[in-house]
Amino acid sequence: MCGINGIFHFSKSDKRPGELELMNKMLAHRGPDAEGVYEEPVIQLGHRRLSIIDISEAANQPLKSADGNLVIVFNGELYNYKSLKEQLADYPFKTNSDTEVVLAAFQKWGEHALRAFNGIFAFAVWNKTRQELFIGRDRLGVKPLYYFLSNDVLVFSSSLKSILSTKRSAWHISKSGLVDYLRYQTVHAPGTIVEDIHVLMPGHFLKVNEDDGAVFKEYWSLTQAKATRPGSMEQAQKAVCDQLSRSVEMQLVADVPFGAFLSGGIDSSLLVALMSRVRDQKADTFSVVFKEDQFSEKKYARLIAEKYKTNHHELELSVTDFRDLIPEALSFMDHPGGDGLNTYVVSKKTREAGVKMALSGLGGDELFGGYSIFKQLPALQQKKWLRSFPAYARRPFARLYNKVNGTVASSKISALMSLEEFDVEDIYQYYRQVFMDQQIIRLVNFPKLSPNRVFEITREQVGYKKAGYSLPLLSKISIAEMSTYMQNVLLRDADQMSMAHGLEVRVPFLDHELVELVLTIDDRFKNPVSPKKLLVDSFADLLPEEIYNRPKMGFVLPYEVWMKNELRQFCETHINTLKDTGYFQADELGKIGHAFFAGDKNITWSRIWPLVVLSNWMKENNVR
């Protein structure tokens, strides 16, 4: 797990002294173990290494192929590298690293090697003979890859900040990105918050050469589920049990100390149980616990740790300790967002305990129906009586309902009541929306809003007559969650906040073969009548009832109290700073801030905090 940088020059006179070195410097926290560069007239490649597999100097990067024709920079882990190495026995390997296996596979199979890889990655391979650059990203988008493309140059990196450091443009906030951010506290790929900087989409690769320019291609998508569909509940449970067990076993390969995050929830508890079952030695588990019981799940984490006899580490914080880490955490935020601070704290404490790799339960909720949307959306679709009234007849009642109630929830209900259709893409777009469009129009300083990206993404993935239309309804919701919230919030936060401390996070629930399997399973086997029922029933002998038969707690902290007290000046200063950017209506921004601090329950902390984070990020990165 590392950080990669690169610059492809369409114009050979475009090189700027010290540019690649500065980009590498911006990635130092991602790879504290080693640094390397490779340069030719057309290409520059940079690497910062976090050593996990084959920690010898021979495996440092950039790494050349045996014949010297290919050069690679690789960020990630290839979990099936040992089995692939057996298929590449004719290659003269010089290291025991997974990176060299990627290089050998690419030399033999070209772009088709991507389909053979099981792992999390973003990498670039330079072909000296063809003078061609190839960049690939993993299927689910676990590892990031940002890029800036102009007529003169392609700049790419694991870090948005690294690209900003090049000053290749007078960086400005993207208006469409800003609207997306106000709607969802994030910007959905391929866009970013910065105009002209983009994200290589998950399951895609990019080829670059002087003749053809930049050519993008998809090699995998969530709707291309290839697994055999189980025909019974028993078959579904066995298939889930076998595939998740294989995923955990495969991802426990490392040459450094590692462990698992253990919150005491279903997903992390199950991973710890499987770790203990597939390994002879005790697992190391890590929980951040709070002195204040109302914020802590330590009794559930202890229950699992005692059951599986792990070396359990309780990393105790007070909510004040957590609050005091917020400015430090924001300084490492590569792309602004409304969440992620919990991951920063957990990763910081885990890394300080001497661990360089940890398993996370991320992805379990999205895949097995752990959120309320998995019940709410099917229930709404079943209300066929709503469709008996045309949308034009429902809209006056919707407006009246919202006017009478005036809450965030009522504005969403009003929007739903006004819909022409009740397909997944129509309903889902409102589920995680923070500011509704009528609020954003009053808030921003430009007259027209960009199209809703969550609607566009969901329609593209599982909309009517699209590739995913034949999938079960719950699988469509899973795809909507994984393509939007998971990839653009959870995975981004997990990467940027864990790598701030040089900690690699692996996600066994996002093994692509497991994902393909679960997406094929019929709704009658996945129906979430209880939390993640299929997952729990597939491992009935591993989890105590106290773990799955309780309310979902999550990582709840008193942000509102902090923001109105100890962090008030910090928040007010950054909201006022946004007024001067030219992107916002200053009066409306002031009204929202005043309403929050005055105790207006319709302006929650989760609507103000992303604005504070955005302002802080813009200031730190000199983006206006």
Tell me the CATH architecture of domain 233-369+485-548: 3-Layer(aba) Sandwich (3.40)
CA nearest neighbour of 423 among 455, 389, 390: 455
Give the pLDDT score at 465.
Answer: 56
Give the pLDDT score at 246.
Answer: 96
Domain ranges of the chain: 2-218, 233-369+485-548, 373-479, 559-621
Q: In the predicted model, is pLDDT for residue 54 greater than 70? A: no
Pairing of β 357-359 and β 204-209: unpaired
| pLDDT interval class at 416 (50, 70, 90) | low
> Between residues 399 and 148, which one has the greater pLDDT?
148
Give the pLDDT score at 288.
Answer: 81
Q: Residues of 561-578 as b/e, b for ≥16 C-beta within 10 angstroms?
A: ebbbeebeebbeebbebb
- % the chain with pLDDT above 90: 65
Q: What is the dihedral of CA 475, 477, 483, 484, to 10 degrees?
A: -170
Q: In the predicted model, is pLDDT for residue 443 greater than 90? A: yes
Distances, alpha carbon 260 to alpha carbons 243, 274, 352, 414, in Å: 19, 11, 14, 43
Six-digit token string for 47: 């690497």
Give the pLDDT score at 389.
Answer: 60
CA distance 471 to 521: 9
Comparing 2-11, 376-385, 414-423, which segment has the lowest mean pLDDT? Answer: 414-423
What lies within 8 Å, CB to CB, of 319 at 6+ separation is: 290, 291, 292, 295, 557, 558
CA angle 499, 85, 83 (to 5 degrees): 85
Q: In the predicted model, is pLDDT for residue 321 greater than 80? A: yes
| pLDDT interval class at 255 (50, 70, 90) | confident
Mean pLDDT, rounded, of the chain: 89
Q: What is the DSSP string of 190-201?
A: T--SBTTEEEPP
- Residue-wise pLDDT tens digits, 226-247: 777 899 999 999 999 999 999 9
Distances, alpha carbon 322 to alpha carbons 300, 338, 346, 362, 379, in Å: 21, 16, 10, 21, 39
- Residue-wise pLDDT tens digits, 420-433: 677 888 889 999 99
Per the listing, tokens 């409306």 go with 588
Catalytic residues: 2
> Between residues 266 and 420, which one has the greater pLDDT?
266
DSSP state of 90: T
- Residue-wise pLDDT tens digits, 23-45: 999 998 898 888 899 999 999 99
Class at the top of the CATH hierarchy for domain 2-218:
alpha beta
- Residue-wise pLDDT tens digits, 349-387: 888 888 889 999 999 999 999 999 999 888 887 765 565
Backbone angles phi, psi at 334, to 5 degrees: -70, -40
